[in-house]
Structure 1
Amino acid sequence: MSSKSSIRLTFVGTLFFFVFVTESVRINVTETRLNRVKLHLKKINKPSVKTIQSPDGDIIDCVHSHLQPAFDHPKLRGQRPLEPPLERPKGYNSSDERFETIQLWAELNEFCPEGTIPIRRTSEHDVLRANSIRRFGRKIRGVRHDTMSGGHEHAVAFVNGDQYYGAKASMNVWTPEVTDPNEFSLSQLWVTSGSFGNDLNTIEAGWQVSPELYGDGYPRFFTYWTTDAYQATGCYNLLCSGFVQTNSRIAIGAAISPRSSYNGQQFDIGVMIWKDPKHGHWWLQLGHGVLIGYWPSFLFTHLQKEASMIQFGGEIVNSRSRGYHTNTQMGSGHFADEGFGKAAYFRNLQVVDWDNSLLPLTNMHLLADHPNCYDIKAGKNNVWGNYIYYGGPGRNAGCQ
């Protein structure tokens, strides 16, 4: 055999060995990740007594309420959900909430048995869409509400400079376009305390469109919390131990139906978060007095006492994946000036004071990080009280 042939065979053999080893490593890494995903799913998908197939493809598991993920927390292990507080905040009146919330899975008129709660089942695909298992179900770190950070942009109304014990508002629900899978568009209430650096405590609830988290473009009812500025604590919905759900008819993370339409009928949801004066836990209510559950006070540091800021409005992530602002919409995808039936709104904005009383906002501030992309305007009348219109289309002639 010639020396050239020998060299050629050695090169081919080495190349084959390199490809084989590389492919083996890739397969092993994939298998390792899949095994980790399966272990994680086993942790968060609890055994169910009944399953319901939603028209949108979701699987809803009916899980014994004392076996939900919250009770994996060391301080809750072996306990059961608390009884609801006897009193709502003073001044609460459900008559201003015109529309019932309907979730797609509930259109079948099939619900979970008494003593169980409905939990949207997490799939392998859900987890694999995330950058890592550790980050699955969490917001990207670096979210700030006083400036743009990490691609996050806001159009919000807020109050600060006082002690707050909750907030309430009604918001109409839309289906905004989200351009890239790792972006989202949401509308929510924020109840916060601490600094935006490393010790921010926040409780959040509203609706969101998040293809990465849910795998589709439906607006979904969601919750969130963190006690360290989105670093290592907290999560969306029931994807970690934290929020304790008590309601057997609402699935957190499930799609909302119906939705508002441009120049058509408007559908909104009422959300109230308040601190129970007796036990100090933060309770969540949806719509006509429907209690969803609570965040135990021990989860937090600053929010064990009270909140220092309340915010209402929209947030999106702009990834600039193509080198310019994406077309991800906020709210209806239309600017605030277009008004009712066209722009997204929050109405009847209120806060809960030290005396557990609902009060209208005073000294309200408006913030739009990038008003050429998403803006906000406020008003007040006898029917809607304090209200805001907000949102926008994202990329346009003034938003590059």
Structure 2
Amino acid sequence: GTAAYTSYQNPMQGYYGAMATFDIYNFPTLKKGFQSAANMALHTSKEAIQAGWEINPTLYGDNKTHFFVYYNVDIKYDPGCSNLVCDGFVPNKEDGDWWIHTGRDTNNLTPVGYWPKSLFTTMRDNATSLFWGGTTVSPSNEPSPPMGNGQWPGELSAFVRDIQYIDASGQGNAPESWLHNLRAEVSNNKCYQVSSLTENMFHYGGPGGCTKN
């Protein structure tokens, strides 16, 4: 499932990075086969990189919330690779292109690692689309798990704020200047929803419970 904001029209020079602040929650009862994540992504029609926080009992062997990274060099045919399972993501080096930094705010960021540009073809220099929000995964015919903190969007629900894209000069750009490039994306509003984007912040999530065949 998905409840997020995505860009659908890239600026003339493309997206060279993205930023956001997420609040993070946990679902102690989530079982193997289910996932719930808060994440951001940059991608083209073929390739993608992604980072955020997820609960994934199948991958980690527990139902705690973990920081994760993911990349895919062929969205159509390749399932992609998470964390350090493959050689693509390089932790704590001093060169590279698609860097990840994490911290409590934009003034206190620590580098985590990067994906070298040599991994990519269409994303060697920039991306054409962005994504901020929540995602879930569930087995076929099983009710989907909660997203965010399990609440419908509102004052007490999960949020994403301080979203920006990075331009070719390395400057951050808040949505006020490119709001027309963003749209809400919800896979099934009976299970998940997203609020309007107000003052560079939106709420998202829901209780889940949808089944797929």
> Which category of TM-score, normalised to the shorter sequence, fits these structures?
0.7 to 0.9
Give, as a single letter, the amino acid of the residue that structure 2 aligns with 1:241: D
**2:2 matches 1:154:** yes
Aligned to 2:187: 369
Instruction: Please give the alpha-carbon distance, in whole angstroms, between the structure 1 residues aligned to 2:6 and 2:192.
Output: 16
Structure showing the higher strand proportion among its residues: 2
Aligned to 1:315: 135
**2:52 matches 1:206:** yes
Give, as a single letter, the amino acid of the residue that structure 1 aligns with 2:151: H
Change beyond 3 A, Cα 1:296–1:178: farther
Change beyond 3 A, Cα 1:230–1:242: farther
Question: 1:178: how far off?
Answer: 6.0
Contact preservation (8 Å) 2:25, 2:149: yes
Question: 1:233: how far off?
Answer: 6.8
Change beyond 3 A, Cα 1:178–1:242: farther
**2:143 matches 1:346:** no
- Structure 1 gap segments, 5+ residues each: 1-152, 195-199, 248-278
Aligned to 1:332: 149
3-state SS of 1:345 partner:
strand
Question: 1:307: how far off?
Answer: 0.4
Contact preservation (8 Å) 1:351, 1:360: yes
Question: 1:230: how far off?
Answer: 6.7
Offset from partner CA, 1:216-265 (integer Å, 9 cap, x none): 11000010001111744741111110111117xxxxxxxxxxxxxxxxxx
Instruction: Please give the alpha-carbon distance, in whole angstroms, between the structure 2 residues aligned to 1:190 and 1:316.
Output: 15
Instruction: Please give the alpha-carbon distance, in whole angstroms, between the structure 1 residues aligned to 2:76 and 2:158.
Output: 27
Contact preservation (8 Å) 1:185, 1:208: yes
**2:95 matches 1:282:** no
**2:208 matches 1:394:** yes
Instruction: Please give the alpha-carbon distance, in whole angstroms, between the structure 2 residues aligned to 1:180 and 1:320.
Output: 14
Aligned to 1:6: none
3-state SS of 1:379 partner:
coil
Larger Rg: 1
**Following superposition of structure 1 onto structure 2, how do residues 208-287 of structure 1 map, counting pairs within 5 Å?**
208-229=54-75, 231-232=77-78, 234-246=80-92, 281-287=97-103
Instruction: Please give the alpha-carbon distance, in whole angstroms, between the structure 2 residues aligned to 1:201 and 1:178.
Output: 33
Instruction: Please give the alpha-carbon distance, in whole angstroms, between the structure 2 residues aligned to 1:154 and 1:349.
Output: 18
Instruction: Please give the alpha-carbon distance, in whole angstroms, between the structure 1 residues aligned to 2:26 and 2:114.
Output: 27
- How many residue pairs match? The answer is 200
Give, as a single letter, the amino acid of the residue that structure 2 aligns with 1:313: G
- Structure 2 gap segments, 5+ residues each: none
**2:192 matches 1:378:** no
Contact preservation (8 Å) 1:176, 1:331: no
Contact preservation (8 Å) 2:96, 2:114: no
Moved more, 352-361 or 218-227: 352-361
Instruction: Please give the alpha-carbon distance, in whole angstroms, between the structure 2 residues aligned to 1:388 and 1:178.
Output: 26
Instruction: Please give the alpha-carbon distance, in whole angstroms, between the structure 2 residues aligned to 1:191 and 1:221.
Output: 17
Offset from partner CA, 1:34-72 (integer Å, 9 cap, x none): xxxxxxxxxxxxxxxxxxxxxxxxxxxxxxxxxxxxxxx
Contact preservation (8 Å) 1:201, 1:300: yes
Asked which structure has the greater RCO (Cα within 8 Å, sep 6+), the reply is 2
Aligned to 1:304: 124
3-state SS of 1:303 partner:
coil
Structure showing the higher helix proportion among its residues: 1
Instruction: Please give the alpha-carbon distance, in whole angstroms, between the structure 2 residues aligned to 1:233 and 1:309.
Output: 19
Query: Alpha carbon RMSD of aligned pairs, Å?
Result: 2.0
After TM superposition, the score normalised by the length of structure 1 is: 0.47
Give, as a single letter, the amino acid of the residue that structure 1 aligns with 2:71: W
Give, as a single letter, the amino acid of the residue that structure 1 aligns with 2:6: F
Question: 1:332: how far off?
Answer: 0.2
